[in-house]
Amino acid sequence: MTRVCVFCGSSGGGRPEYAEAARDLAAELARRHLGLVYGGGGVGIMGVLADAALAAGVEVIGVIPRPLAARELAHTGLTELRLVESMHERKAMMAALADGFIALPGGLGTLEETLEILTWAQLGIHQKPVAALNVAGYWDDLIRLLGHAIAEGFVRREYAALMLFADGAGELLDRMAAWQPPALPRAWLSPSQI
With beta carbons less than 8 A apart as the criterion, state whether 164 and 132 touch. Answer: yes
- Kindly report, residue by residue over 4-40, the tens digit of the pLDDT: 999 999 999 999 999 999 999 999 999 999 999 999 9
* pLDDT at residue 181 tops 90: no
Instruction: Tell me, yes or no, whether 142 lies in a domain.
Output: yes
Q: How many CB atoms lie within 10 A of CB 159?
A: 21
With beta carbons less than 8 A apart as the criterion, state whether 61 and 3 touch. Answer: yes
With beta carbons less than 8 A apart as the criterion, state whether 52 and 28 touch. Answer: no
* pLDDT at residue 131 tops 70: yes
Domains in the chain, number: 1
Q: How confident is the model at residue 188, as a pLDDT?
A: 53
Instruction: Tell me, yes or no, whether 192 lies in a domain.
Output: no
* pLDDT at residue 112 tops 80: yes
105's CB contacts (< 8 A; 6+ apart) are 8, 9, 13, 18, 21, 45, 133, 135, 138, 139
* pLDDT at residue 190 tops 80: no
Instruction: Tell me, yes or no, whether 183 lies in a domain.
Output: no
Instruction: Tell me, yes or no, whether 135 lies in a domain.
Output: yes
Instruction: Tell me, yes or no, whether 29 lies in a domain.
Output: yes
Instruction: Tell me, yes or no, whether 77 lies in a domain.
Output: yes
Domain span at 86: 3-176
DSSP E strands, the chain: 3-7, 35-38, 60-65, 80-84, 101-103, 130-133, 163-166
- Kindly report, residue by residue over 141-164, the tens digit of the pLDDT: 999 999 999 999 999 999 999 999
Instruction: Tell me, yes or no, whether 194 lies in a domain.
Output: no
At position 182, the amino acid (one-letter code) is P
Average pLDDT for residues 57-78, to the nearest whole number? 92
With beta carbons less than 8 A apart as the criterion, state whether 134 and 140 touch. Answer: yes
pTM above 0.85, yes or no: yes
CATH number at residue 64: 3.40.50.450
Q: How confident is the model at residue 115, as a pLDDT?
A: 97
Instruction: Tell me, yes or no, whether 189 lies in a domain.
Output: no
With beta carbons less than 8 A apart as the criterion, state whether 131 and 159 touch. Answer: no
